A and B are shown apart, each in its own frame.
Chain A
Amino acid sequence: MPEAPAVPGPALASMAQQFAGLPMPALIGGPLMAACSANQQMALTQIDFLMKTCFVEGDDSTDKGKSYAPVMVNMTLSQGIIVPPAEGSTNPTVSHVDTTIQVPLLTILPLNSLAVDNVTINFDMEVKSSFTDDTSSSTSSSTKEDASFDAKAGWGMFSVEIKGSVSHDSSSASSDQQHYSKSNDAKYSVTVHAGQLPLPPGVTTIIQAMTSTMAPIQLPAGPAKDS
């Protein structure tokens, strides 16, 4: 099969050259670094919140280290207690008892770790390069000839009359069109989603330890004090 003749024209854009110049490290690493930086700032903000809002620096802080005590809030616990029936009565009564308990503020606030948990980078690039050469020519020719002859002769008064006409039409057209187009289209989108992450195990342990201390403890029965 004979090879198609090479069409003269401008060189098409090199795909490899187009993509080789892309700053891929910046395109991919930039959003990831920004997400890491945001997460770091959010973590520092939460630590600052915990230490400044939920804890107070203790008085026994020394040069070797600081001690922190949790900020406590007083809460009232209301519960019904069944009172045994009094003498002469068979019906027990229910009385409400209010107990004041101290609860760490840390256990009441809805702490969570808010952080960027998903980064989606989409990069679409389209390189278009095309060359077209259209050549068309058309020639049309038409000839129209018309002739007429008329002669007239007469006696007495001599007269001769001759008429004739010739027409010729011819037309030709040719066109040559060359079209070269080149376009680059790029779309770059970064989607960032922030969600709640589980609390670090250390913080969870602290909260659980504090929560467990909320339950009232029962003191052993002792001699009644005279009021």
Chain B
Amino acid sequence: MGVTIPCPACTVGSIVIEPRLLATGSRFACNRCGAALAIAPGSVDTLERGINAYEKIKTRAASLVEQD
């Protein structure tokens, strides 16, 4: 479930982020300038809450399809 965002450093390249890996401390680099993004330690909880909520709606959506 990768997400592509524009590079904040060069604004030309893009950075593909894997949110689950990002929450574990992984760094993701720009494909143009090499600048790397990592989650700040103080925001790990916020990111994990968001990922968990996203996983819940995915499960919920899958159950709705199965009920149909």
Q: Is A35's CB under 8 angstroms from B68's CB? A: yes
Q: Enumerate chain A residues within 8 angstroms of B8, measured Cβ to Cβ.
A: 77, 101, 214-216
Interface size range on A against B: 35 or more
A-B contacts at CB below 8 angstroms, number: 109
The interface bits of chain A over 41-59 (1 if a CB of B lies within 8 angstroms of the residue's CB, else 0) are 1100110010011100000
CA distance A54 to B51 in the complex (A): 11
Q: Is B22's CB under 8 angstroms from A108's CB? A: yes
In whole Å, how far is B29's beta carbon from the nearest beta carbon of chain A? 9
Interface of A is mostly: mixed
CA distance A173 to B37 in the complex (A): 99
Asked if A100 is at the interface (CB within 8 A of a chain B CB), the reply is: yes
Q: Is A49's CB under 8 angstroms from B53's CB? A: yes
Interface size range on B against A: 35 or more
CA distance A110 to B58 in the complex (A): 11
In whole Å, how far is A105's beta carbon from the nearest beta carbon of chain B? 5
The interface bits of chain A over 73-91 (1 if a CB of B lies within 8 angstroms of the residue's CB, else 0) are 1111111100000000000
**Chain A residue nearest in CB terms to B44:** A73
Q: Enumerate chain B residues within 8 angstroms of A49, measured Cβ to Cβ.
A: 53-54, 56-57
In whole Å, how far is B23's beta carbon from the nearest beta carbon of chain A? 10
Q: Is A78's CB under 8 angstroms from B27's CB? A: yes
Contact with A75, one of B3, B33, B37 (Cβ below 8 angstroms): B37
18 residue pairs from A and B, CB less than 8 Å apart: A35-B68, A38-B67, A38-B68, A45-B57, A46-B57, A53-B53, A75-B39, A77-B8, A78-B36, A79-B33, A79-B35, A79-B36, A80-B34, A105-B50, A110-B54, A194-B62, A214-B6, A216-B8
